[in-house]
Structures are given as structure tokens and as C-alpha cells.
């Protein structure tokens, strides 16, 4: 495993494992993002991307357009410039 991704005992400590794959880690990280003014838009984007992944194929184009305008339009209230 790459350096920094495991600790003694071989436990995976990667971001993906801790904050995406583990339900409690995901919940805690999302709450952290939502509570930090600089990261609240990132939390909303994450939630919307997960919802987008569940969309029916016929709805995806409209959902993608909403995502782009909400999060990727410079100057918008929830613009995520990263």
C-alpha cells in the first residue's frame, strides 16, 4: 500500500475508506463540511453528485445542467472553484 494509507496492523486510513466507504466516517465528514462556512458548498455539491448518480438516464442532462449552474458558475453563492 502507498505510504500514509495504512497504519500498524494494516488498517486502511485513506480518505476514501474513512470518509466515503465508512458510513459513520462519511456522516461525520459531511457534518464537518456543512458546519464550516468555507466548505458548506462542497458538502452540498457532494450531496447533489450522489443524487445525480441515482438519476434515471432521461433526467441526467437536466440534472447535470443544474449542477453546472449551481456549483461551477463563477460568482454564484455555491460556486466551488476547486
**What's the pTM?**
0.72
Task: Return the pLDDT at 24.
Answer: 95
The pair phi, psi for residue 47, each rounded to 5°, is -60, -40
pLDDT recorded at residue 71 = 93
Provide the sign of the torsion angle of the four alpha carbons 50, 40, 69, 79, taken in this order: negative
The pLDDT, as a whole number, for residue 1 is: 46
Q: Let me know: does 48 contact 80? Beta carbons within 8 Å.
A: no
Domain positions in the chain are: 15-72
pLDDT of residue 25: 94
Strand partners, 12: 6
Residues of the chain with pLDDT under 70: 1-10
Amino acid at each position: 500500500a502507498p505510504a500514509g494509507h495504512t497504519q500498524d496492523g494494516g488498517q486502511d486510513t485513506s480518505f476514501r475508506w474513512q470518509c466515503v466507504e465508512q458510513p459513520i466516517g462519511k456522516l461525520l465528514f459531511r457534518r464537518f463540511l456543512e458546519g464550516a462556512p468555507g466548505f458548506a458548498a462542497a458538502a452540498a455539491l457532494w450531496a447533489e453528485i450522489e443524487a445525480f448518480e441515482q438519476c434515471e438516464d432521461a433526467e441526467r442532462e437536466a440534472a447535470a445542467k443544474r449542477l453546472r449552474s449551481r456549483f461551477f458558475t463563477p460568482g454564484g453563492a455555491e460556486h466551488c472553484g476547486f
